[in-house]
Amino acid sequence: MLSACANTNLGDALQRSLGADPTLKDNPPKNLGRPSPNKPQSTPQKQKSVPLPEDFPTEIPRYQQATLEQVEPLKDAAAPGKLTIWSSPDPINLIQNFYQKTFESGGWEVLDQPEEQDGGTFIVRRNDLDVTLSIPSRATTGKSSAASSSKPPAVATNSSVTTFDIQYVRDGKDTKAEKPTQAEKPQPSQKPTQAQKPTQPQKPTQPQKPTQPQKPTQPSEVASKPAQVRSGEPEKFTDLDKVPRDLRKYVADLAKLGVLTPGTANPKTNADSQGTQFAPNQTISRRQYARWLMDANNRIYANRPGLQIRLASKTTQPAFQDVPRTDPDFPYIQGLADAGLIPSPLSGDSTAVLFRPDAPLTRENLMVWKVPLDTRKALPKASIEAVKETWGFKDTAEIDPKALRAVLADFRNGDLANIRRVFGYTILFQPKKPVTRAEAGAALWYFGSQGEGQSAKEALFLKPQTSQPSGAPKAKPSN
């Protein structure tokens, strides 16, 4: 058939259709389905985690399902520290619950924490380490709060990923000097602008204050712990409206008596513009409560020296390994140990060799320390059954055996019982729950048993007798 078509128009057309395309000579086809010998084939890359900084504190708990995404130095901090940014596929509430429980049970002093289970900021402290953990709310999930730093984090956002940041600073002198001096300085009313210097690099100007020439070494002590022996002048707190209503009158009376100290200032707020803050809902540490306990007892019984507790001298042998003579709260803590009011080797408790001054005060701690100052006699024998029968607590078995006697003795105080005054009616004692500053103040408002005692309100009438001549008129409390 092909020979028959030769030299015809049909044959020419058939030859062109079956021949090679001449354009392919200058334009070779692209490789389809085969790797090019000159260009390596691209392969998907697995995202790698950023290495953990060498100075990342081992004390900081790490969420197991979180990945470190970015590390930034803290440019404006005088002490060494970093900002670390993390991401996790878990929801906000799981991450927040993990850190809340870990901070409360791990010996951290919780200065601030979120009020809702929907993200927020934790500000905690442990020894010389300050940590700020920021978890965004659901509306901003995927955007780190680190955007307030010098540059936004280069972390990919995803609606199913929770991004949070942990900022840490380790330097007891630098990081803690600022917080106590802002909070504890009631006397620099004539120099309100100096307390507003939150920039830590300007700290060398603080020891030069003319109001404290007699204490050149105090700034370092105040920096480590805010526990100086105070003058007893009443504090004028600007946030007493945040105290729970049922506890407000107790806190107000103690403030007028000069027992309470200001709360630790939140570094993210302007302390000067808000005035002196009591921070009623912050957790109180064991060292803070020890100081308040002694001050409240001695000022409420200002006219009865036989009921006062003596401060320990600097030459006393320390009862606790973690409260040396150089600790500014040593006179208070050692004084309570010397008086047998807190468990220590001096009271026969050979296991209580550590006081853990910066750990949160728990409800059972409060009872063990306070009730002996109410009864002023040996506490009754107690059992789980006896406490459960009187108070009706469903969690009686969770109370430390050393605290059962104090809890039972408190029940016998009727309406003046600390538990009733502070916590109201409850069938759950929650012995390991941290105590707030407002709750601690309410517990210290009254000392006594079965009507034989005295309150802070009554002590306000006695206070002028210790500071005025006998012929001076007696001042009455404002309320």
For 268-290, the pLDDT digits (tens) are 444 455 688 999 999 999 999 99
Mean pLDDT for the chain overall: 76
Mean pLDDT within 53-68: 88
Q: What CA–CA distance (Å, rounded) separates 354 from 321?
A: 6
Would the CA dihedral through 113, 117, 121, 124 be positive or negative?
Answer: positive
Is residue 34 over pLDDT 70? no
- Give me the pLDDT at residue 272, please: 54
Q: pLDDT band for position 345 (50/70/90)?
A: very high
Mean pLDDT within 318-322: 95
Structure-block tokens of residue 380: 């009754």
Is residue 37 over pLDDT 70? no
Longest dimension (CA), the chain: 147
Quick one: what percent of the chain has pLDDT higher than 70? 65
Weakest mean pLDDT among 98-112, 353-367, 443-457:
98-112
Mean pLDDT within 111-130: 82
Is residue 229 over pLDDT 60? no
- Give me the pLDDT at residue 350, please: 87
Identify which has the larger pLDDT, 295 or 479: 295
Is residue 441 over pLDDT 90? yes
- Give me the pLDDT at residue 194, please: 44
Q: pLDDT band for position 20 (50/70/90)?
A: low
Q: Which helix (H) or strand (E) holds 374?
A: helix 363-375
- Give me the pLDDT at residue 121, please: 86
Identify which has the larger pLDDT, 264 or 307: 307
Residue 467: Cβ within 10 Å count: 10
B/e letters for 320-347, b = 16+ CB within 10 Å, e = fewer, are: beebeeebbbbbbbbbbbbbebbbbebe
Q: What CA–CA distance (Å, rounded) separates 344 from 288?
A: 18
- Give me the pLDDT at residue 174, please: 40
Identify which has the larger pLDDT, 238 or 224: 238
Condensed to tens digits (0 to 9), the pLDDT of residues 170-183 reads 865 443 334 443 43
**If you search the block for the tokens 């780190």, which residue do you land on?**
144
Identify which has the larger pLDDT, 165 or 474: 165
